[in-house]
Each structure stands twice: as structure tokens, then as C-alpha cells.
Amino acid sequence: MNILILSCGSRNKIIQYFKKELQGIGKVFATDCSTLAPALYDADQFFIVPRIDAPDYLCKILSICKDFNVNAVFSLIDPEISLIAKHQDEFLKIGTVPIVSKFDLVEMCFDKFSMNQFLENSGFQTIKSYLDKEAFYKDIDAGKIEFPVFVKPVKGSASININKVNNGEELELLFAKHNDLMIQQFIDGVEFGADVYIDFISGETVAIFVKEKVVMRAGETDKAISVKDGKLFELIQGFVSRAGFRWIIDIDLFKVNGEYIISEVNPRFGGGYPHAYESGVNIPKMIIKNLQNEINEPLVGEYDEGIRMMKYNEVKIVRDKLV
């Protein structure tokens, strides 16, 4: 049972968790385009590959999968997730299972306005959003929304180019400077993140770990505390069932006036997943079980409340000729 983790970067913990779960039954391979990606050196074997936009990139990954008998593959960065999802059939033909939801779902996740429309059309409470400035100004005049608002890229990650805007002048400056922006209602509430695993075979949500985000840094959770709420578990299960996700997803939510609002969905391991694993929510083990054609038993909410996660800096030293 060999697993390939693409664009591993500094996600050392993910490599370590899979190595632990595969001990004695398989290997963890990793790739990155830089020898300075620290997670590479925690893998059993690693490969330096071209950037994902290189013409021969996909062929290189497929060759690694074929040559090293890779049973499953997944990526840790957003653009590559779409690439893997788009070419799922090519991986399956060589016996490698892409650990990713269907391409149309992945694309919807990465298009914030499309996700917003799906939530709204499916009856879920969501954040009022606009692509059309004139429609936004019309609702401002009608008192349906007010400043401040957030202006953000329709497609983007890591909180890049997200701006809190206080008036029309600021909004016009941003729209003149950037393309493909959307306007979103400013939500003043408590932010949560959920690590969710959907059994690939049964399609059932078998694990949910929820954390209240205490401190954020560069779009990722820096400090958090585990929480449990049956109402939130029920909301997530309903959403996942309606959308049809599989494998691992990471959901961002807000709680406003006692109600939960789904904000964004990332069809991958979230940056805060180590919090879940160290709290007993073992998604790598669940993935391996599915790859062995076994169904996972539901373990939704089976963790303790009040477990704190605090990220801190570590250093990787490597002495070889690659660096």
C-alpha cells in the first residue's frame, strides 16, 4: 500500500501521520518542485518535479505512480487538486486512486460565488454575495446590505487579496485594480473549522472534527480549541450529503446569533488537520481502510472538547548535495 503526496511543502505532519499508519504495509512518497520543501525529508522517498504548470508535469506524476506501484495519490495545494480531479481516469487506468472529489465539485469549491449559489439554492444559510456591483449598490440603497463588506477574488486561497471595504470609493479602487472580484457581506461572528471525512465506499460522513478558530495567520488556523455541537454536526452531514463529496474536506463556518453559516469548502486536508489527528480523529487510517475496500464505522464527534492546538516554529536541517 503506497501513497504519493503531491506538493508537500511544509506539511510535515501529514507525511508523518501516513508513515505511521502505513508502517509495515507500505510507503509514503512525496513530491515538490523545490528541494527546500521540508516535508520531503519525512517521506520514505521523495521526487523533485517540475512546477504544476509545466507541460510535462502530469506525465511525470503518472510515471512516478506507475514505476513505484502507487496505490493512491493526493495533493495539498488547491491548483493541483483540480488537475488531479480532472485527470482521475488516467490515474485509475494505471491502478492509482486519486483521493479527491469529482472535478465539478472541486471546481465549485474553488469558485467562491458558485459555492455561495449552491448553498443558497440548496436551502442552507449563507453569506450574501455579489458579482455585480450595480446589484450590490441597489441593495445598499434598499437597506438590504450595508458597509463594511469584504471584497475578495472569486477564486483564491490563503486569504490573499481579501479586503475589508468601508465605502464605495474603496470598493471602486479595488475593482479598478483587480479582475474577477466578488463582494461579500461582512460577518461579525465566531469562526469555526471542520475536518470532515466521507467514506469513499458508503458515501456516509464518518468523521467530523470541529475547532473554534482563536488566532488566524496567512489564512490558516494558528491557534484553536476543539468544540462539539450536535446541531453543527447535523448541518455538515446534510450539506455533504446534498453536495456528494468523497474523501477529505475542510469546511469554514461562522456562528452568528446562534446560527451556523457555511462560508467556504476546501476539498483537501486543511492546514489545521493535525489538531484533529492528535485529538483522535485518524483520517489517514480511514483513507487506508477505504483503499483496502473496507467501509469505515461512523465516528462523528468522537473526540474531547477543550483540546487546544497551538502552532509553533520548528527547523529542518538537511546535510546533502541537493540543497
**Are residues 47 and 84 located together in one domain of the fold?**
yes
pLDDT at 155: 86
Burial class of residue 50 in the structure, from the number of CB atoms within 10 Å of its CB (0-12 exposed, 13-18 middle, 19+ buried):
middle
The DSSP symbol for 125 reads: -
Asked if 4 and 49 count as a contact pair (C-beta separation under 8 A), the reply is no
**CATH number for the domain including 216?**
3.30.470.20
User: Is residue 118 domain-resident?
Assistant: no
Query: Going residue by residue through the chain (323 aa), what tens digit of pLDDT does each one get?
Result: 999 999 999 999 999 999 999 999 999 999 999 999 999 999 999 999 999 999 999 999 999 999 999 999 999 999 999 999 999 999 999 999 999 999 999 999 999 999 999 999 999 999 999 999 999 999 999 999 999 999 999 987 655 668 899 999 999 999 998 888 999 999 889 999 999 999 999 999 999 999 999 987 766 788 999 999 999 999 999 999 999 999 999 999 999 989 999 999 999 999 999 999 999 999 999 999 999 999 999 999 999 999 999 988 889 998 876 55
The residue among 163, 185, 207 that closes a domain is: 185
User: Is residue 108 domain-resident?
Assistant: no
Domain that holds residue 161: 128-185
**Are residues 205 and 276 located together in one domain of the fold?**
yes
- Strand partners for 150: 164, 184
**CATH number for the domain including 26?**
3.40.50.20
User: Is residue 306 domain-resident?
Assistant: yes
C-alpha cell at 97: 486512486
- Strand partners for 153: 181
At residue 318, the 3 state secondary structure works out as: coil
**Are residues 219 and 301 located together in one domain of the fold?**
yes
DSSP codes of every residue in 141-178: HTTSS-S-EEEEESS--TTTT-EEE-SHHHHHHHHHH-
Half-sphere exposure for 316 (CA within 13 Å, toward CB): 16
Q: What is the pTM of this model?
A: 0.93
User: Is residue 160 domain-resident?
Assistant: yes
Domain count, the chain: 3
C-alpha cell at 65: 505512480
SS3 content of the chain, % helix, strand, coil (to 5): 35, 25, 40
pLDDT at 314: 87
**Are residues 60 and 148 located together in one domain of the fold?**
no
Q: What gap in Å lies between CA 167 and CA 146, rounded to an integer?
A: 9
